[in-house]
Structure 1
């Protein structure tokens, strides 16, 4: 055997050992997380997942439902530039459902502005104005067109004082399908549509909650992610290395997480999610 052949063989062996180690670490972390935890990790051109557990189990979506609204809004902006150029304000009833730090009751906004604030700031009022403008039926038609069976929007995002919150469900695999649709559209041959979706990725990249998937991968990795959190639920869905020819996708859904008031347990769960994401990322490399 030549030296080059030996080194190639050694590299393959070491890679296989590292993959096994990563898989064992991921399995151990999944044992430490709540039973209703799902993960789906893959690459754009993969036929199979790098890591998958409970990927088709319906779990609470929380603010991850905004990814579906985002894709529906991006499609509307892409296909109807005239409508995209018309400022909208939303009805008084819809604006009253959720407080906002970035959407002023006295102003009107373009669809693209609302889309950015809904994603980057997870702004519920922006989401509600988009839901009213686009229509729930249209948003759910987009879900069906992407092959989503579980993920739907059923109503508006509301503050706790309004009591009733229509609970949306999703699956880790369906969140991946939404992320994949966004990623593919960023290379669309239609320059206008491509630009709309690239701006959507910028919003994902600019959102500030980076404690879960982004914290678990190397700092040099470009990550666009959307989190979803309500009491007992911790979700994160991310596109990684979008400039690569074959980017990665990681989705983690956790139902049964400790509430924020149990701060130590809550932070431990967040940390385990980040470690799980890090192992999933390496398994995809």
Structure 2
């Protein structure tokens, strides 16, 4: 990937922030410029191939795999599933408040998975797609280390060492895949819009204001706070991804917000 030399100053600022706030954490970030006519270019990066527990960032992959199956004619977004087809799981969102008699279309489940990070909706889609299908799709678009190995909220699998994993480079590659499709048809447009309706804004976009649209996804586990997506600005569209691991959650949230403020100010005011 080409590197933009002017981004060296941003890397210095971010590394100093990390050293000050979370020197013992495992922290990766990647800031890149996306362009319809050119290859993606790195502005600043750190640990971009470091493998992290993905938390809910894996849901972006599940969404893209679902839409690829629809584009191939293997599934249709208006097909439905009953909540009975996968066990109820907790972790926030909406479905856990409903009884088992409800049915939802694949599109509705995907919207709940992405906008509200609903874990039950996610598990229903994993059940329908199959983990092998999701992982095969990841490999097909060039994701090197990303793997779906367990259902959401599966503490037994985690205890046995089966963890969903991802790198910031893989996620940026996935976002680029979605970005180039955003205006190519209804499926690409839907993925782009779903990312833009994310309701959790406590990390990267915290200081940006509610009027700034950030097409992103967040992820949380114990001592894990991830955030990453695509930010359209006057100067272009930029990918911003930060994975924060082995940092207490309250500190990780604050670090993510501070990094987001630093990155946006650099892109708007210091990048040529």
Global fold match (TM > 0.5): yes
CA RMSD of aligned residues (A): 2.8
1:64 offset after TM fit, Å? 0.4
The residue matched to 2:30 in structure 1 has which SS? strand
Corresponding residue of 2:243: 253
1:63 offset after TM fit, Å? 0.5
Structure 2 unaligned segments of length 5 or more: list them. none
For the pair 1:48 / 2:48, whether they are aligned, the reply is no
Aligned 8 A contact 2:203 2:253 in 1 = no
For the pair 1:271 / 2:263, whether they are aligned, the reply is no
Give the Cα separation in 2 of the matches to 1:251 and 1:217: 15
Give the Cα separation in 1 of the matches to 2:89 and 2:223: 22
2:164 to 146, 165, 168: 168
* TM score, norm. by length of structure 2: 0.83
Give the Cα separation in 1 of the matches to 2:13 and 2:181: 34
Give the Cα separation in 2 of the matches to 1:219 and 1:84: 30
1:98 offset after TM fit, Å? 3.9
* TM score, norm. by length of structure 1: 0.79
Aligned length: 256
Corresponding residue of 1:39: 29
Aligned 8 A contact 2:193 2:215 in 1 = yes
When Rg is computed on C-alpha atoms for both structures, the one with the higher figure is 1
Structure 1 unaligned segments of length 5 or more: list them. 1-15, 189-193
The residue matched to 1:253 in structure 2 has which SS? strand
For the pair 1:208 / 2:203, whether they are aligned, the reply is no
Give the Cα separation in 2 of the matches to 1:207 and 1:280: 24
Matches within 5 A, 1:1-285: 22-32=10-20, 33-34=22-23, 35-45=25-35, 46-80=39-73, 83-89=76-82, 91-92=84-85, 94-98=86-90, 101-103=93-95, 104=98, 105-158=100-153, 162-165=155-158, 166-188=162-184, 194-217=185-208, 221-241=212-232, 246-260=236-250, 265-279=251-265, 281-282=267-268
Aligned 8 A contact 2:8 2:43 in 1 = no
Aligned 8 A contact 1:72 1:139 in 2 = yes
Aligned 8 A contact 1:68 1:139 in 2 = yes
Give the Cα separation in 2 of the matches to 1:87 and 1:20: 49
Aligned 8 A contact 1:234 1:254 in 2 = yes
Higher helix proportion (structure 1 or 2): 1
Aligned 8 A contact 1:172 1:253 in 2 = yes
Deviates more, 1:244-253 or 1:123-132: 244-253
CA gap 1:99/1:91 in 2 versus in 1, 3 angstroms: farther
